[in-house]
């Protein structure tokens, strides 16, 4: 009915400009009038989701659509539009085929779907499309969307990422995240190849910093304790570098970390991120974590809440722009915090358990001595990547602890 009303409105408007559109619409409507639908709605295994089946058997074509119906109206509208678009394209395509040929061998379009619970209200939905126009023009394809059945959010998987290209290379995903071939199941992101075959997976916790905030907030990140093959717990240490990035010393630190295949966390200052975005990107691409250390290194306990928020938000935006990742871990300058600050930050601040005093001693030997003396499983070591002497201490520091069986991880992995 809605379509017919539109057509009448357009016809009476008398604008020549609309002539083409009107002709197009009439064709569609005529086709629809010809199509006789059998519709049926059944329950799905999931709460608040029904399955709608619509079938039409015409002399020249068959249509079979099966798609979910949700409680959320805007989500349903999205799906109706999606299905409608597929139908319109199909009918347009068969218009080009000889009618007699179609009478002998009807064309067909079928749409079926699979729902994959991602946790909470979020589902991945895989839509399989099978098209048969002629023997040469038969094909099947699949498309995936991620949806929130409560608030109606609907997105292609690539649209979940701040920057799908940067995320693909930093996470070494087996598929290009831009091509949307992934789904989320429980706490895992599963990657599919062109033939919809499983190519690998990653815990969503690893992927989380690369997700846009509105999507990241929809998932839960369960901790899993890593065990070695022998079943014993891995001894872990988190190296953290504050106040950078700084071209020379940060580069030197990155080279040492790479040499030892060690991961670390860089708590950056927003104003330096803005100055050295390529260096931030490099840090992320090499598998390290970026944390938020404020924009200008002011004591948060002496600032107004609004200013604390601005220091955090500006820095986060700069890191996202530079590297396609959110700095989820926050370390307030000087480790200075209180209840009010924590509330504004919204996460538990990451402090440290070992202070190397590198900013004071500027002595690689002294830095190493402190770490060697105090290191234990779960230590978080405070250093600063703005000092060349810290960079010089790192090789010996990492080698000696690796010899003792320590693994160097990011603060989110400790
Ligand atoms: Zn600092």
The residues whose Cβ lies within 5 A of ligand 1, an ion, are 242-243, 333
Listed in sequence order, the DSSP H helices in 96-197 are 99-104, 164-171
Burial of 166 (0-12, 13-18, 19+ CB in 10 A): buried
Taking the centre of ligand 1 as the mean of its atom positions, its distance from the CA of residue 242, in whole angstroms, is 5
Structure tokens at 295: 């924009």
In whole angstroms, how far apart are CA 276 and each of 132, 216, 244, 288, 319? 54, 26, 9, 16, 10
Rounded-to-integer distance, Cα 157 and Cα 21, Å: 33
Residues annotated as part of the active site: 242, 384
Q: Which CATH number is 35-155's, of 3.30.420.40, 3.30.565.40, 3.40.50.720, 3.30.700.30? A: 3.30.565.40
In whole angstroms, how far apart are CA 281 and each of 70, 165, 169, 212, 267? 40, 12, 11, 17, 14
Q: What is the pLDDT of residue 23?
A: 39
Q: Collapsing DSSP states into helix, strand and coil, what is residue 374?
A: helix
Q: Which of 130, 132, 148, 150 is nearest to 140 (CA)?
A: 130
Taking the centre of ligand 1 as the mean of its atom positions, its distance from the CA of residue 383, in whole angstroms, is 9
106-139 burial: b if 16+ Cβ within 10 Å, else e: ebbbbbbbebbebbebbbbbbbebebbbeeeeee
Q: What is the pLDDT of residue 223?
A: 53
Q: Which of 53, 105, 106, 57 is nearest to 83 (CA)?
A: 53
**265-268 and 188-192 as β-strands: parallel, antiparallel, unpaired?**
unpaired
pLDDT for 54-104, tens place per residue? 999 999 999 999 989 999 999 999 989 999 999 999 999 999 888 888 899
Taking the centre of ligand 1 as the mean of its atom positions, its distance from the CA of residue 319, in whole angstroms, is 17
pLDDT for 349-368, tens place per residue? 999 999 999 999 999 999 99
Rounded-to-integer distance, Cα 161 and Cα 177, Å: 8
pTM equals 0.79
- 235-413: CATH topology is TIM Barrel (3.20.20)
Taking the centre of ligand 1 as the mean of its atom positions, its distance from the CA of residue 382, in whole angstroms, is 10
Contacting residues for 119 by C-beta, under 8 A, at least 6 apart: 184, 186, 187, 219, 220
Taking the centre of ligand 1 as the mean of its atom positions, its distance from the CA of residue 37, in whole angstroms, is 67
Q: What is the pLDDT of residue 8?
A: 42
Q: What is the pLDDT of residue 222?
A: 62
Q: What is the pLDDT of residue 34?
A: 66
How is the chain split into domains, by residue range? 1-33, 35-155, 157-216, 235-413
Q: Which residues of the chain have pLDDT under 50?
A: 1-32, 225, 227-228
Q: What percent of the chain has pLDDT over 90?
A: 64
Taking the centre of ligand 1 as the mean of its atom positions, its distance from the CA of residue 205, in whole angstroms, is 26
Listed in sequence order, the DSSP H helices in 324-387 are 339-345, 358-361, 364-374
- Cite the beta strand spans of 295-390 per DSSP E: 354-355, 379-384
Taking the centre of ligand 1 as the mean of its atom positions, its distance from the CA of residue 355, in whole angstroms, is 12
Q: What is the pLDDT of residue 45?
A: 86
Taking the centre of ligand 1 as the mean of its atom positions, its distance from the CA of residue 179, in whole angstroms, is 39
Rounded-to-integer distance, Cα 24 and Cα 44, Å: 36
Q: Which of 231, 284, 124 is nearest to 188 (CA)?
A: 124
Taking the centre of ligand 1 as the mean of its atom positions, its distance from the CA of residue 305, in whole angstroms, is 19
């Amino acid at each position: 009915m809605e379509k017919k009303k539109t057509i009448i409105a357009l016809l009476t408007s008398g604008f020549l400009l609309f002539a083409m559109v009107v002709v197009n619409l009439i064709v569609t409507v005529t086709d629809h009038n010809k199509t006789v639908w059998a519709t049926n709605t059944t329950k799905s295994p999931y709460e608040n989701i029904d399955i709608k089946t619509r079938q039409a058997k015409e002399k020249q074509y068959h249509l079979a659509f099966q798609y979910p119906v949700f409680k959320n109206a805007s989500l349903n509208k999205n799906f109706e539009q999606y299905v409608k678009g597929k139908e319109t394209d199909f009918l347009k395509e068969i218009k080009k085929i000889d009618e007699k040929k179609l009478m002998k061998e009807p064309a067909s379009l079928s749409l079926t779907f699979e729902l994959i619970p991602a946790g909470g209200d979020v589902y991945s939905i895989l839509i399989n499309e099978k098209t048969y126009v002629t023997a040469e023009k038969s094909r099947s394809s699949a498309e995936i969307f991620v949806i929130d059945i409560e608030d109606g959010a609907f997105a292609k998987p690539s649209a979940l990422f701040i920057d799908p290209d940067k995320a693909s290379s930093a996470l070494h995903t087996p598929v290009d995240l831009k091509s949307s071939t992934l789904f989320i199941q429980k706490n895992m992101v599963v990657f599919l190849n062109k033939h919809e075959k499983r190519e690998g997976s990653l815990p969503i916790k690893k992927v989380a910093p690369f997700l846009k905030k509105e999507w990241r907030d929809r998932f839960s990140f369960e901790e899993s304790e890593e065990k070695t093959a022998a079943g014993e717990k891995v001894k872990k240490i988190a190296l953290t570098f504050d106040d950078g990035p700084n071209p020379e010393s940060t580069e030197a630190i990155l080279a040492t970390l790479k040499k030892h295949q060690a991961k670390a966390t860089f708590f950056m200052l927003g104003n330096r991120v803005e100055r050295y975005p390529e260096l931030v990107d490099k840090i992320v691409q090499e598998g390290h974590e970026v944390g938020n250390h404020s924009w200008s290194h002011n004591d948060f306990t002496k600032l107004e809440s609004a200013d604390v928020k601005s220091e955090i938000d500006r820095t986060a935006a700069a890191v996202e722009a530079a590297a396609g990742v959110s700095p989820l871990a926050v370390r307030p300058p000087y480790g200075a915090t209180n209840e009010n600050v924590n509330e504004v930050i919204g996460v538990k601040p990451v402090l440290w358990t070992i202070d190397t005093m590198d900013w004071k001693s500027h002595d690689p030997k002294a830095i190493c001595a402190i770490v060697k003396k105090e290191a234990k499983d779960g230590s978080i070591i405070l250093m600063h990547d703005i000092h060349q002497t810290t960079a010089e201490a790192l090789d010996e520091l990492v080698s000696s602890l690796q010899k003792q069986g320590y693994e160097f991880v990011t603060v989110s992995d400790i």
